Amino acid sequence: MQASLSVIGVGSSQTSVIAVDTGAFGGSGGTAPLSQGVVGSNLRGTAQVTAIGAPTTIVGSPSALTDATGAALYGNTAPTGFVIATPNARELSGVPVGGTLAATNYGILNPIIAGTVPSGVGTSRVPPATTLTGQFAGIGQTLFGSTSLTPAASPYIVAGAMGLTADPASNRIFASFGGADPLTSGTSGVSNITLGFGGIGGSAPNSAFIDNNLFAATESTNNPASINGQTLTFGGSASNAAALYFVNSNLVPYTALPAGVSYCACQFLQWGYWGGEIATDVTTGSVSARRDRFHLGTWVAGVQTPQTDINTMISQGIQATYTGHVIGTVNNNGANYLATGALTGTYNFGLQQGTLSVNNFDSRSVTLPVSGIPGTAFYGGSFTGTITGTANGQFYGPLAAETGGNFTFKTTSGTPYFATGIFAGKR
């Protein structure tokens, strides 16, 4: 597993790129174990080269180089390293050339040198098949047409629920998203969307689990993407319809926060990024020769608070305050960028009512009222006016020690402005 994130600047002058690669050791030829190089890996990513317009998609298939004897691992008495080659790395822009997307091709060599494992890495691993629940959010950019690919008239927000399963026995994860466009579905044509990342079973090396804080995945081969209930196929195959990434924030830290804000030091939830491209040649419904791209979407998931704990807090009329961070993506009059801010939340468990305040997020602050969903650890709410939006979240850990979820909002007049992301906080 390898991942990288670079974000330069803020607001409409910001540029950014993220790349994620997962693979496996295997292969044949030479004398084992020196023949066991990296095989079957997937390089996935997106880049916002300029803030305006759709992001660029990054794809490739890295693998280990072998020498004349077929050996892929080097060293006299013990493996000291190997070399990863990506001769087919490609950047797909949004500019049509002869009916297809313009591509820039790269040939990349990366030497990988053996080193000391950092303290604590690999020591915290959840029990087999532990499932976390949560929310995700992101901004999509659509490119239409099989012979004339042009950006859609406007971006759209996608947000919803997710599940994350880790299997330490196979060192793999699986994540599934199910959501919709809560604010502009009439113009985006996305009434619901499902995405899959990684996988526990099967042979595809499309995920990697190091420990509870370090994991990543690329698109699932067993759970294809769909829009409006229609499985996406490209070139006649569902396996060609998605090039996606999913990564934990600890693997690709981003430190730019407003003054006085710090990331939630949460114990019972995780958060990170997702994105990539989905494409289709399906011609039914509202999906027709379409590509959708997502850059630096966000997700949050954790160990849900037991319902018995929620019931206890309701009966005792507990009032709690949560503080933490928000992070998400913005489309400000066509400019796309990542933004961060502070979270302040209050919740009266007796009344099952509360508020979520997103503070200094892209120099904006909004307060969203939320209500508990009876019999669950979930809550949600919406508001309308010159700014309209939604919030959905849940409680994590014993006695609702932490909370996390997603938010969306957009302006209803004046300069077009969309924003969505996730929040995480602790009591």
Q: In the predicted model, is pLDDT for residue 216 greater than 60?
A: yes
Q: In the predicted model, is pLDDT for residue 158 greater than 50?
A: yes
Residue 238: strand, helix, or coil: helix
> Which of 85-99, 157-171, 257-271, 408-422 is predicted with the least confidence, judged by mean pLDDT?
85-99
Same domain, yes or no: 386 and 249: yes
Task: Report residue 96's pLDDT band, with 50, 70 and 90 as the boundaries.
Answer: low
Is residue 90 situated within a structural domain? Answer: yes
305-315: pLDDT as tens digits: 999 999 999 99
Identify any residues that bridge with 388 across adjacent strands, giving them in sequence order. Answer: 410
> Which of 127-131, 276-280, 320-324 is predicted with the least confidence, judged by mean pLDDT?
127-131
Q: In the predicted model, is pLDDT for residue 282 greater than 60?
A: no
Asked whether 247 and 3 are in contact (CB, 8 A), the reply is yes
96 or 266, greater pLDDT: 266
Q: Print burial letters for 283-314: b (CB count within 10 Å at least 16), e (below 16).
A: eeeebebbbbbbbbbbbbbbbbbeeebbeebb
Asked whether 275 and 345 are in contact (CB, 8 A), the reply is no
Same domain, yes or no: 144 and 30: no
Same domain, yes or no: 186 and 279: yes
Q: Whose structure tokens read 């976390």?
A: 132
Cis-peptide, bond into residue 374, ω within 30° of zero: no
Same domain, yes or no: 144 and 238: yes
Domains contained in the chain, number: 2
Same domain, yes or no: 285 and 417: yes
Of 113, 139, 155, the one marking the end of a domain is: 113
Largest CA distance in the chain: 72
- SS3 letters across 276-327: EEEEECCCCCCCCCEEEEEEEEEEEEECECCHHHHHHHHHCCCEEEEEEEEE
Same domain, yes or no: 87 and 229: no
Amino acid sitting at position 33: P
Q: In the predicted model, is pLDDT for residue 98 greater than 80?
A: no
Instruction: Say what percent of the chain tops pLDDT 70.
Output: 89
The whole-number pLDDT of residue 144 equals 66
Asked whether 4 and 40 are in contact (CB, 8 A), the reply is no
Of 48, 81, 113, the one marking the end of a domain is: 113
Q: How far apart are CA 354 and CA 397, in angstroms?
A: 19
Q: In the predicted model, is pLDDT for residue 342 greater than 70?
A: yes
Is residue 124 situated within a structural domain? Answer: no
Q: Which helix (H) or strand (E) holds 406?
A: strand 402-411
Of 84, 113, 142, the one marking the end of a domain is: 113
Same domain, yes or no: 23 and 67: yes
Cα within 13 Å of Cα(322), Cβ side? 33
Is residue 69 situated within a structural domain? Answer: yes
368-394: pLDDT as tens digits: 899 999 999 999 999 888 888 899 999
Q: How far apart are CA 49 and CA 336, in angstroms?
A: 10
Read off the CATH number of the domain in which 286 is found: 2.40.160.90
Same domain, yes or no: 216 and 105: no
Amino acid sitting at position 234: F
Task: Report residue 97's pLDDT band, with 50, 70 and 90 as the boundaries.
Answer: low
Same domain, yes or no: 205 and 109: no
Q: Whose structure tokens read 């602790």?
A: 426
Is residue 121 situated within a structural domain? Answer: no
Residue 166: strand, helix, or coil: strand
Q: In the predicted model, is pLDDT for residue 146 greater than 90?
A: no
The whole-number pLDDT of residue 142 equals 83
Closest C-alpha among 420, 369, 350, 425 to residue 394? 425
Structural domain span for residue 81: 2-113
Q: In the predicted model, is pLDDT for residue 398 greater than 70?
A: yes
Same domain, yes or no: 364 and 226: yes
Q: In the predicted model, is pLDDT for residue 26 greater than 90?
A: no
- What lies within 8 Å, CB to CB, of 200 at 6+ separation is 129, 165, 167, 170, 172, 173, 174
